[in-house]
Chain A
Amino acid sequence: MSRISFWLQRVAQLLIVLLLVTFGVSLLLRLIPVDLATILLPVGTEEERDILRNELGFDKGPIGYYLQWLGNFVQGDFGKIYFSGGTEEVSDHLKVAMPRSLLLMVYTQILSLAIAIPLGVLSAYRAGRRADKIISNTLFTLSSIPNFAIALLLVIFVGVKFAWLPTLGYAPISDGVWEHFKHMIMPVISLSLGLIATYTRLLRADMIAALREDYVTMAASKGLSDSRILWRHVFRPSSMTLLTSAALSMGGLIGGAIVIESIFATYGIGFEVFAAIAGRQYVALQSTVAVIALFYVFFNLVVDVSSGFVDPRTRDRRVNA
């Protein structure tokens, strides 16, 4: 019973956050000191603009406008992008951008975890020794370099000097798997370096704490091999924080890759935000930011649910708290 009410409370909290985010963005739009209809239809007549104002709810107050937008949004109508030749559906743009962003995120997470897990285990095992110091210091330095700087350096060397990889654009998997990955390698590396450092650090700290537990001494005294102890008895309980952090970073990555997406012209959802701002497509901006916030909140919920399932201790603690 208490568990159900805990979940209901959690979902309600997240819904409130979502409503407030979207309302905040909506309010922000109304703060723009210009007539939105004029921006969207710079060459239209005044009658056309009046129709647009009515259609979008610009003629209503901020709350009326928000409610109208929200009503459309939950029904899957994300609004339109206006340009001189006509209009395009925002949802059509997102349908193209979303899979690209999600693939980019998934590859980034896979690469980061694949590199961070062995590095983290190794540096926890050799904590304080040379290997640990080299790993920690190298990763710390690399992770301090902004991802766009890494992206630009990759473009200069891998893309231009040696011309190994294409520097622009995106190729769907249907164009061939190799072609697809050729376009993805550099963006994924640029986004991964920071994550690798974060994950390695987390895993290292968790595993060092776990290595001090009595059951590790017990396992060692039973004569189990180091590698078995490390992977079966220490890594498994320690991986929880890592997974939590990975899931949480997904939300940030979805929209946070704007610069990378614009440098490599992969046109994911981050780029849609940028395009909406550059083209003053404020309705598109509002809906796209809402989608990003939706993802963020969704991944937060996933973290809560999965940590309860994987580690029953956290479940009890939460209910008692």
Chain B
Amino acid sequence: MRNYTKPTWFAIGWLGLMMFFSLFGWLLPFKPWNFVFEDDLEVGLFSSGHLLGTDSNGYDLLSSAVAGTRMSVFIAIAAVGLGGFIGSVLGILAAYLRGKIDTVMVTIFNVGLSVPNLVLALALVSVLATNVDINQAVPTWRRVMVLIISLTIVLIPILGRIARGATLSWSGREFVTAARSMGMKDSKIILRHIVPNVLPALIAVAFLAVGVVIIAEASLSILGVGIPDGASWGGMIARGRNDLEYAPHVLYVPIVFLALTVISTNHLGDVVRSKLDSREAKV
């Protein structure tokens, strides 16, 4: 705790603020993000009543950004949580059990990795979000579910491969062999000896994965297949592109939120990893 640098404190602070917005944003005294301020169209940054200005629809940008935080952070945490859990279970089992299971898992991971992230997510979203009646719009909650599921599927091979790699390097260690020779059950060895050692590496990657998911979700929204009515950072960018020429601040707001969040998660991922490396070096 003592030797954290200033950037690290900033990252922790910013992510804390984002968590606060996503958990308690609804307590803030804002009008709903899509409340139309008819008299204040496209007012600039730091105007009275609109700290971050409004866009050409008359939406207040601060209120939109706070609502967007909730959506973006929720999707990111849900996808990374699910993808991380499934990926680690598969990766750890594959590396621990070796043999045929390992071969099959590695092949599945490679298949997933041979399609670029965004292409895979785009294909999954478009397939999963297709309605039986194609003229009927897909409701927002279903869009959100589809986004989470798609991004989870995208993350599984990425995180699974890392979990597998980390497990491989630990499962050959002496204490694992010792535990096995003492007749410890495989399930117990994995839980007691493998998971605690692999977990820190996975946490470091999970931070990076949150950034990846936030960017992917925003990219999908920019392409028009994310959250349709724009209650996310990507949605704000997608709408702001139309105002680009006359009111670029409409784009600055979501871009700054997004960039600072990704910089923070990447930085914290880095900090965790370097802590890990120094621990490894001591061993």
Contacts and interface: CB of A to CB of B under 8 A. Distances in A.
Give the interface centre of B114, B117, B211 by most chain A CB atoms within 10 Å: B114
A153 B97 CA distance: 49
Contact of B263 (A34, A144, A256, A270): A144
B255 A289 contact: no
Interface residues of A, number: 50
Contact of B107 (A20, A34, A273, A297): A20
B114 A293 contact: yes
B123 A28 contact: yes
Contact of B127 (A32, A146, A156, A300): A32
Interface string A1-37: 0000000000001001110110011001101111000
A252 B116 contact: yes
Contacts of B124: 28
B267 interface: yes
B269 to A, nearest CB: 10
B134 A155 contact: no
Give the bracket for the number of chain B residues in contact with chain A: 35 or more
A17 B115 contact: no
Interface stretch (B44-52, B187-195, B241-249): B241-249
Interface in B127-144: 127, 130-132, 134
Given A17-B110, A160-B244, A258-B122, A28 B127 contact: yes
B114 A251 contact: yes
Contacts of A17: 107, 110-111, 114
A222 B267 CA distance: 42
B133 to A, nearest CB: 8
Nearest to A285: B123
Contacts of A300: 114
A31 B223 contact: no
B123 A289 contact: yes
B262 interface: yes
A154 to B, nearest CB: 11
Given A140-B267, A144-B263, A262-B223, A21 B132 contact: no
A258 B127 contact: no
A181 interface: no
Give the interface centre of B108, B123, B132, B267 by most chain A CB atoms within 10 Å: B123
Contact of A152 (B122, B123, B241, B270): B241
B114 A297 contact: yes
Q: Is the interface of A mostly helix, strand, loop or mixed?
A: helix
Nearest to A42: B134
A239 to B, nearest CB: 24
Interface in A139-162: 140-141, 144-146, 148-149, 152-153, 155-156, 160
B34 interface: no
Given A155-B244, A258-B223, A148 B123 contact: no
Contacts of B122: 258, 273-274, 277
A267 interface: no
Contacts of B134: 34, 39, 280
A277 B225 CA distance: 9
B258 A140 contact: no
A99 B127 CA distance: 28
12 contacts: A17-B111, A17-B114, A148-B219, A149-B237, A152-B241, A152-B244, A256-B118, A256-B119, A258-B219, A259-B219, A259-B223, A296-B116
Interface of A: 13, 16-18, 20-21, 24-25, 28-29, 31-34, 39, 140-141, 144-146, 148-149, 152-153, 155-156, 160, 251-256, 258-259, 262-263, 270, 273-274, 277-278, 280, 285, 289, 292-293, 296-297, 300
Given A145-B259, A148-B219, 6 more contacts: A20-B108, A255-B118, A256-B118, A258-B122, A273-B122, A289-B119
